[in-house]
Amino acid sequence: MHKPFLALCAALLFTATTTSQALDDASALFERLPGKWAPLQDGKFDCDDAQVIAFSKDHSTATFTFTKPFKNDDGQTVSAAVYKVLRVKGRSITLFLNDEKRETPGGDPIVWTLVLMRDDAYVWRQTDWGAGESTIPFIRCTAQV
């Protein structure tokens, strides 16, 4: 489920513990994203229920390892997700989930864009979603809310 962008902005109005710096090249994004991140729900995030982001050395794949495995839409237990990196631009990285079976309403495979809102918060967007639509934010586990 995705939330309007305005709701996201309201959720992100808490004190930042890091200073945002311009991302002038793709390598900066690959340096900032690795680590442990947890979803922000109702103003709280639980780093015991998080995902750990890592990239391959050549930055062609991203692996998200879940601290608490979950059941996917097919009923299979998932402990990690591996994505192909399609594009890096500014503060966003567009990814395709390996073995993705879900489709957009138009019948195309779902493609995701991770948008780094600031150094300690990101959201997901499906590339077919309307302007301003995104998931709830994910917060770096070293951040303070």
Q: Tell me whether residue 145 is in a domain.
A: no
Query: Do 80 and 67 meet the contact criterion of CB atoms below 8 Å apart?
Result: no
- Specify the pLDDT at position 144: 53
Give the residue with greater pLDDT, 15 vs 56.
56
Q: Tell me whether residue 51 is in a domain.
A: yes
Number of domains in the chain: 1
> Residue 72 sits in a domain of what CATH number?
2.40.128.210
What is the extent of the structural domain holding 84?
Answer: 3-13+25-140
Tell me the per-residue pLDDT of 45-65, one tens digit each, with 9 for 90 and over.
Answer: 899 999 999 999 999 999 999
Question: Residue 25 — very low, low, confident or very high, per pLDDT cuts 50/70/90?
Answer: low
Beta bridge partners of 81: 64
**Residue 118, CA distances (Å) to 13, 39, 71, 82, 124 in order:** 11, 15, 30, 23, 13
Tell me the per-residue pLDDT of 60-102, one tens digit each, with 9 for 90 and over.
Answer: 999 999 999 999 888 899 999 999 999 999 999 999 999 888 9
Tell me the per-residue pLDDT of 97-140, one tens digit each, with 9 for 90 and over.
Answer: 998 889 999 999 999 999 999 989 999 999 999 999 999 999 99
- Specify the pLDDT at position 74: 85
